[in-house]
Amino acid sequence: MSRARQFLFWIFIILGFLLLTGCGAPSGDPKEAVVKYYDSVKNGNFEAAYEIMAEQSKKNISKEDFVLYQQLNREIMRLKDFKIEKVQDLRNIELEGSSYKFAAEFNITETIEEYYDDKKEKSNTYKVLVVDDNNAWKVYKDLDIKKAISSNYAEIGWMYAVGKGKDRNLNEAAINFKRALEYDKENADAYYGLGVVYHDSGRYDESIKQLNLALTKSNDKAFQSNVYNVIGLSYVGKENYQKAKEAYNKAIELDPNNEYARNNLSMLK
Is 1 a member of any domain? no
Q: How many domains is the chain built from?
A: 2
What are the tens digits of pLDDT across the range 36-75? 999 999 999 999 999 999 999 999 999 999 999 999 999 9
Instruction: Report pTM.
Output: 0.88
Give yes or no: residues 19 and 132 share one domain.
Answer: yes
Give yes or no: residues 118 and 206 share one domain.
Answer: no
Is 198 a member of any domain? yes
Give yes or no: residues 97 and 129 share one domain.
Answer: yes
What are the tens digits of pLDDT across the range 166-200? 999 999 999 999 999 999 999 999 999 999 999 99
| pLDDT above 90 as % of the chain | 87
Distances (CA, A) of 260 to 41, 87, 132, 263: 40, 45, 53, 5
Boundaries of domain holding 227: 147-266
pLDDT of residue 176: 99
Strands (E), the chain: 77-95, 98-114, 120-132, 137-140
Give yes or no: residues 170 and 257 share one domain.
Answer: yes
Give yes or no: residues 131 and 167 share one domain.
Answer: no
Which of 119, 142, 165 is at the close of a domain?
Answer: 142
Give yes or no: residues 23 and 128 share one domain.
Answer: yes
Mean pLDDT value across residues 71-100: 95
Please, what is the average pLDDT of the chain?
A: 92
- CB-CB contact of 46 with 40 (8 Å): yes
- Comparing 30 with 13, which gets the higher pLDDT? 30
Is 2 a member of any domain? no
CATH number at residue 109: 3.10.450.100
Which of 111, 142, 173 is at the close of a domain?
Answer: 142
